[in-house]
Chain A
Amino acid sequence: KQEVTQIPAALSVPEGENLVLNCSFTDSAIYNLQWFRQDPGKGLTSLLLIQSSQREQTSGRLNASLDKSSGRSTLYIAASQPGDSATYLCAVFFGNEKLTFGTGTRLTIIP
């Protein structure tokens, strides 16, 4: 069964610190992986999309990596800010006409 796991479920860090969010998936035959941000009760905002042929993608203070062989992706956030507080979702496209989501990591940045 194709599954996506995100650990930890919640994370609190002081403002200004660099941090890493983890995502693991059970099947290495993926097409792409997408990281989303979700604010409470709100929609999903796409942060980064990594195609299966890529190793990483960067956008501003965010950097996402992909290691298909080990079934892992990380989202690195540099110099965290209170505005980064949100739930971060990892979603994998295994080619079966849907995204398979992890249950997310709820991030709190402490001012």
Chain B
Amino acid sequence: EAQVTQNPRYLITVTGKKLTVTCSQNMNHEYMSWYRQDPGLGLRQIYYSMNVEVTDKGDVPEGYKVSRKEKRNFPLILESPSPNQTSLYFCASSGVGTGHYGYTFGSGTRLTVV
């Protein structure tokens, strides 16, 4: 089944403790991206990657890092999480043409930073 897989689904952590949210897709998509969803603000893009070793900032990149060492994986790294990063996070991927064939989203990771 074609899908985007995120782990973990739920995560509670403490301020300053580094964490990584993993994302993997099995559709051989070139493009991958991370979004966060907050009440009243909708979905906002954090980072995106056009292909292996190519990443760029989205609208809200502060406090996040990403890497794209393999085509299928695009982990989101929070080096020093803070409470304002409590949110619902989504990973997405798309085929050639970035968006021309539509986006597939993962099931989401609900992160709570205390």
Residues of A within 8 A of B (CB): 31-32, 34, 36, 41-46, 49, 51, 89, 91, 93, 95, 97-99, 101-104
Contact = CB atoms under 8 A, between A and B. Distances in A.
14 contacts: A31-B99, A31-B100, A32-B100, A41-B110, A43-B107, A43-B108, A46-B103, A91-B43, A97-B56, A97-B98, A99-B92, A99-B99, A99-B103, A101-B43
Most buried by B among A42, A43, A89, A102: A43
Contacts of B33: 97-98
A46 B105 contact: yes
A34 B102 CA distance: 7
B39 to A, nearest CB: 10
B104 interface: yes
Contacts of B107: 42-43
Contacts of A34: 102-103
Interface residues of B, number: 27
A98 B48 contact: yes
Interface in B49-69: 50, 56, 58-59
Interface of B: 31, 33, 35, 40, 42-43, 45, 48, 50, 56, 58-59, 88, 90, 92, 98-108, 110
Overall SS of chain A's interface: strand
Given A41-B110, A43-B106, A43-B108, 9 more contacts: A41-B108, A43-B105, A46-B103, A97-B33, A99-B92, A99-B99, A99-B103, A101-B43, A103-B42
Most buried by A among B31, B99, B104, B107: B99
Contacts of B35: 99
Nearest to A102: B42
A98 B36 CA distance: 13
Nearest to A92: B99
Nearest to B46: A98
